[in-house]
Amino acid sequence: LARGVTEPDLKGRHVVVSAGGTREPLDPVRFLGNRSSGKQGYALARTAAARGARVTLVAANSALPDPAGVDVVPVGTAVQLREAVLKASADADAVVMAAAVADFRPAVYAAGKIKKKDDQEPEPITLVRNPDILAAISADRVRPGQVIVGFAAETDDVLANGRAKLKRKGCDLLVVNEVGESRTFGSEENEAVVLGADGSETAVPHGPKEALAETVWDLVAERLR
């Protein structure tokens, strides 16, 4: 095929992509959140649709417009994201967890706005763990041959951390980003290494998030064949 012409190599496939960042409410007006823009997940959804897939995009708090031809399921919290991903994954050929999922949530949700009191220090916020969605879907594969992809932002020994995380999560592919000062979050570009459970290592040079998305789908398509 000519350069720039997309091969519909995901035709007949259903893929699920999670994107954005979860928000864990403290009260009706406040939440614990993160800086994920959703751009990488949306790029994954767009490129999969262009390659012929039926796409379910589970979108956590992203301000981005719905990509054309993609089924968007908006969610807020990690628990809601889990429900939506599990439901959509039941008949999916591939699941890509690009969302930044909060590891913890406030143990209590105050139904009324938390007020400060003149002569009192604030109450500490107690956190509890959120479910690990990637580990759960990797452990009980609902469909034989389903390909599961995770994302990890790492510092320090990026590759060693990535290998350990791939093993711990039990997924087939892990996209490892090195993060630092102004890298990755909110940016239009990305740079990563995609680690495979089969020992493979695919370096993706610094470039648009679409390019990384295309590489992820190349690796997924190879494993679906």
Going by the annotation, the residues of the binding site are 103, 113, 131-134, 151, 165, 169
Task: Supply the minimum distance, in Å, between the C-beta of residue 164 and Ca ion.
Answer: 14
Nearer to Ca ion, 50 or 98 (CB): 98
Task: Name the site residues for ligand CTP (rule: CB under 6 A).
Answer: 78, 97, 99, 101, 103, 130, 132-134, 150-152
Distance between CA atoms of residues 61 and 77, nearest Å: 9
Catalytic residue among 34, 61, 161, 190: 34
Task: Supply the minimum distance, in Å, between the C-beta of residue 107 and ligand CTP.
Answer: 16
Nearer to ligand CTP, 9 or 127 (CB): 127
Select from Ca ion, ligand CTP, none the partner in contact with residue 130, using the beta carbon and a kind-dependent cut-off of 5 to 8 Å.
ligand CTP
With contact defined as beta carbons under 8 Å apart, do 17 and 47 qualify?
no
In this structure, are strands 14-20 and 54-60 parallel, antiparallel, or unpaired?
parallel
Nearer to ligand CTP, 49 or 102 (CB): 102
With contact defined as beta carbons under 8 Å apart, do 191 and 207 qualify?
yes
Beta-ladder partners of 74:
59
Nearer to ligand CTP, 58 or 211 (CB): 58
With contact defined as beta carbons under 8 Å apart, do 195 and 167 qualify?
no
**Residue 61 annotated among the catalytic residues of the structure:** no
Task: Supply the minimum distance, in Å, between the C-beta of residue 30 and ligand CTP.
Answer: 21
φ/ψ of 131, rounded to 5, equals -65, 150
The string of DSSP codes covering 154-198 is E-SSHHHHHHHHHHHHT-SEEEEEE--TTSSTT-SEEEEEEEETT
Task: Supply the minimum distance, in Å, between the C-beta of residue 176 and ligand CTP.
Answer: 9
Task: Name the site residues for Ca ion (rule: CB under 5 A).
Answer: 103
Residues marked as catalytic? 34
